[in-house]
A = this chain, B = another copy of it.
């Protein structure tokens, strides 16, 4: 699979350029392999040669399409953050019970990390642990928008008398933190348990999501009289 041509988007319809294979496919292949490698090893440990080789393209094309290694990285982080916010923000107008809205939010984060964007938690954590050196103001607003959903939902739950008067920030961090940690470290657990001859299976992501849903729901509920 040295040349994986796919996803011919409809740009410049009918016009085939003189030489080369497909600019859009090259771009996508670079984004895909770079996302995986950055998540696994971090920005500095990945070389543009690694990315180009895994994508099956020449390394000079990273400069041509993205203007360098750093801007390739920035593009990836921005798109990942954006996708999360787009999925979560509609919950601000969800009229269901606050407990149900939080369950849904947890499910969305879990689904994103499980299937569509498995590298998101690690890239997010790496960036945040480094102090966010690659983040611009636009990207920095995204986490706040996710928090806003949690904050409003919790405020509504407290007002309606179904949640204890918990701190929304602490609740948000425990909710997001337990999920991000789980998915960021899932590969490690799988590798360790496969290497050891233990009969223990690594925990299923779906089970963990349900566990967090229950933990948060019970942890926030008001005391029964």
B-contacting residues of A (Cβ < 8 Å)?
A: 39-45, 122, 125-126, 128-132, 140, 166-167, 169-171, 173-174, 176-178, 180-182, 184-185, 187-188, 191-192, 203, 207-208, 211-212, 214-216, 218-219, 221, 224
Min C-beta distance of A93 to chain B, whole Å: 24
Q: Would you call B224 and A219 a contact (CB within 8 A)?
A: no
Query: Which 8 pairs between the two chains have the least Cβ-Cβ distance?
Result: A177-B181, A215-B219, A44-B45, A170-B211, A178-B178, A219-B219, A44-B44, A174-B178
Given contacts A45-B130, A170-B208, A177-B178, 5 further A-B contacts (CB under 8 A): A129-B188, A173-B178, A177-B181, A177-B185, A218-B221
Point out the residues of chain B lying under 8 angstroms from A192, CB to CB.
132, 140
Q: Would you call A131 and B40 a contact (CB within 8 A)?
A: yes
Give the residue of B41, B207, B224 whose beta carbon is less than 8 angstroms from that of A130: B41
Min C-beta distance of A197 to chain B, whole Å: 13
Give the residue of B40, B131, B169 whose beta carbon is less than 8 angstroms from that of A203: B169
**Whole-angstrom CA separation of A188 from B132 in the bound complex:** 7
